[in-house]
């Protein structure tokens, strides 16, 4: 038993390292993939604020309609604005080379962004709420989660433009380093902080869904498989006892 506990602790140890790697504080977000209203709102925000620069080439509009409980007409009226067809992938017209010239780097495809990063949902939720005013940057903004980010704050009209306060620490050798301390209000946006947090929550919910559209189905199937194995284990044990009854 002692060896078993030791082995489990050794297996779990890397998880703790991964979670704390970089020392970055991430705000937790609760994601419910069964909340279709949140998913539908998130899809709208994604199309309106993200799809202009970021593609989602592994997702089709038709799949979004089916999974999110939308009709083809609702998708055509609310999510399709470029003449694409319902069966098309969620791609963009801009060329990566042009985008690299505009932003310094080509914006990544967002199909799997919620799975590509550690603590993906929490990272995205914190990132979208951590832009701050920085006149030294080409886009006029920076981000406490992604330093010197090339992406503009596309949702600034909703959140507004906040200011970041940094604290300067000096170590024993006199070296100075800055650490983020808090945000302060700047230019107000159309939404209150609580309303903007809900917008980001819905957007992240959609990004989590898009990264693995079959997640709920996979989890449901997994439960059924476990139940089957448990029942089969009982049957196999009873058969074993029956076969070996006369031997003993």
Q: Say if residues 144 and 123 touch (Cβ distance below 8 Å).
A: no
Q: Which residues pair with 184 in a beta bridge?
A: 163
pLDDT, residue 64, reads 93
Within its chain, how far is the Cα of 205 from the centroid? 7
Domain ranges of the chain: 23-213
Between CA 184 and CA 88 the distance in angstroms is 43
Q: Which two tokens stand for residue 45?
A: 């925000």
Half-sphere exposure of 209 (CA within 13 A, CB side): 28
Between CA 86 and CA 74 the distance in angstroms is 11
CATH fourth-level superfamily of 23-213: Cytochrome c-like domain (1.10.760.10)
pLDDT, residue 46, reads 95
Residue 31 sits at the vertex; the CA angle it makes with 80 and 90, to the nearest 5 degrees, is: 20
Least Cα distance to 209 among 18, 28, 73, 58 occurs for 58
pLDDT, residue 213, reads 92
Handedness of CA 14, 16, 19, 22 (dihedral sign): negative
Q: How many C-beta atoms lie closer than 10 Å to residue 13's C-beta?
A: 10
Within its chain, how far is the Cα of 10 from the centroid? 28
pTM of the model: 0.79
Query: Tens digit of pLDDT for each residue in 22-37?
Result: 567 899 999 999 999 9
| Mean pLDDT per 10-residue interval, the chain, length 248 residues | 41 40 79 95 94 90 92 88 82 78 81 87 95 92 91 94 90 81 92 96 96 88 92 90 76
Residue with tokens 């906040």: 162
């Amino acid at each position: 038993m002692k060896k078993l506990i030791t082995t489990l602790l050794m297996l779990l140890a890397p998880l703790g390292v991964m979670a704390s790697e970089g020392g970055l504080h991430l705000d937790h977000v609760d994601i419910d993939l069964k909340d279709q209203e949140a998913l539908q709102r998130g899809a709208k925000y994604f199309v309106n604020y993200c799809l202009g620069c970021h593609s989602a080439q592994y997702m089709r509009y038709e799949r979004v309609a089916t999974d999110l409980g939308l009709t083809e007409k609702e998708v055509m009226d609310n999510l399709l604005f470029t003449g694409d067809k319902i069966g098309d992938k969620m791609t963009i017209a801009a060329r990566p080379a042009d985008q690299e010239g505009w932003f310094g780097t080509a914006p990544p495809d967002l199909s799997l962004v919620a799975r590509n990063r550690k603590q993906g949902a929490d990272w995205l939720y914190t990132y979208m709420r951590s832009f701050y005013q920085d006149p030294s940057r080409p886009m006029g903004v920076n981000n406490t989660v992604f330093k010197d980010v090339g992406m503009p704050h596309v949702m600034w009209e909703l959140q507004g433009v906040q200011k970041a306060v940094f604290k300067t620490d000096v170590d024993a050798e006199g070296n100075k380093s800055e650490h983020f301390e808090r945000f302060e209000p700047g230019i107000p946006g159309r939404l209150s902080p609580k309303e903007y947090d809900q917008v980001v929550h819905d957007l992240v919910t959609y990004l989590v869904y898009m990264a693995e559209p079959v997640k709920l189905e996979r989890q449901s199937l997994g439960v059924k498989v476990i139940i089957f194995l448990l029942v089969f284990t009982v049957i196999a044990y009873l058969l074993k006892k029956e076969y070996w009854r006369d031997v003993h």
